[in-house]
Amino acid sequence: MITSQIITDLKQRSHLIVEYLGSIGIEPAKTSGNQLVYLSPLTGEQTPSFYVRPQTNHFNCFSSGEKGDVIRLVQLMERIAFIKAVERLESLAENQNSSFSFSGKNFQEPKTEKIEHRLQLNAVKELESLALISYMESRGIPLSYAKIYVKEVHYTNGNRNYYSIGFKSDNGGFVLRNSAFKSWIGQSGITTIPSTDNTTVNVFEGFFDFLSALVYFDVIQPRYTTIILNSTTNLKQALPYVQKANSVNSYLDNDLTGKKALAQLKTKGVKVNDLSELYAEYKDMNEMLIKHMIQKPDT
């Protein structure tokens, strides 16, 4: 039974937020005073702007605008409810020693030297892991769609091996996603899905939203040239494409970051069709698809 005391203890347990991030292979890029700074696990940024206060278990993600305590972070990372996030942290706390480690070294108070953050690509394969296939299906994406657009990427972080869903960008990098991890390997950038019809361009924030739209509209490939930003910080890379088009279909998120990106498109003189009205009650296209999938009656 989850009690208020358990919740309080988890919030007050020193460094638990760092333990959580370390348990899923996410390590600090540098230190800043008494804070640790990470490449944000919530966006595809290339410059670290995800600040963590180990003593208070709070985070502030400047690239997404999200901030809060360790429980809120788990909810965002794993897309789970509050109680499930508490149970996840309670299990982690029970299995961690008081002196935990990451990168093979005991954690100490932040020092001034930079802490290396490096993912080493080992292999890119066709999607075959049952765990990753199950994860895609839990997000409403059938295997028939997933196999066309994503890969299974194996990589090393420190001395540990991992694998994730990989979505390739135009510059050869990969967005990495699994049930408990969000990151990049290689250089961040947009992904372009070309089409013979460039009069209209579709713009999505993330690849799950792109795949969700394909499933929702029951098509294997888009009619128009489509750009997946992979992060709103990559919007500038998309401008040469969208400014040439007669119009842009925007499927950006219904949050502050998505609204800011939409406003930026409009200020550039782009004729934008804001299609977020399709999922007005939800954060994004994928969330709508998941809710629709859950609520859909058996036939």
pLDDT tens by residue, 98-120: 333 333 333 344 333 333 346 78
Distance from C-alpha of 75 to C-alpha of 58, rounded to nearest angstrom: 13
Looking at residues 14-20, what average pLDDT do you find? 86
What pLDDT score does 295 carry? 56
267 burial via Cβ count (<10 Å: 0-12, 13-18, 19+): exposed
DSSP tag of 57:
T
Helix, strand, coil % (nearest 5) of the chain?
Answer: 35, 25, 40
| Coil/strand/helix, residue 78 | helix
Which has the higher per-residue pLDDT, 106 or 279?
279
What pLDDT score does 66 carry? 93
Least trusted range by pLDDT, from 130-134, 137-141, 190-194:
130-134
Q: How far is CA 196 from CA 200, 201, 222, 228, 249, in A?
A: 11, 11, 10, 17, 16
What pLDDT score does 113 carry? 37
| Coil/strand/helix, residue 123 | strand
Tens digits of residue pLDDT in 160-196:
778 889 999 999 999 998 766 678 888 889 999 999 9
235 and 242 Cβ atoms separated by less than 8 Å: no
- Domains along the sequence of the chain with CATH: 4-106 (3.90.580.10), 119-185 (no CATH), 191-295 (3.40.1360.10)
Distance from C-alpha of 149 to C-alpha of 217, rounded to nearest angstrom: 16
Is the per-residue pLDDT at 296 higher than 60?
A: no
Looking at residues 219-228, what average pLDDT do you find? 95
The residue type found at 109 is: E
pTM of the shown model: 0.63
Distance from C-alpha of 161 to C-alpha of 157, rounded to nearest angstrom: 6
Looking at residues 36-51, what average pLDDT do you find? 85
55-59: long-range contacts at Cβ-Cβ below 8 A with a sequence spacing of 24 or more?
55/14, 55/15, 57/11, 57/12, 57/13, 57/14, 57/15, 57/16, 57/17, 58/17, 59/17
Contacts of 182 (CB under 8 A, 6+ apart): 41, 42, 77, 176
Q: What percent of the chain has pLDDT over 90?
A: 49
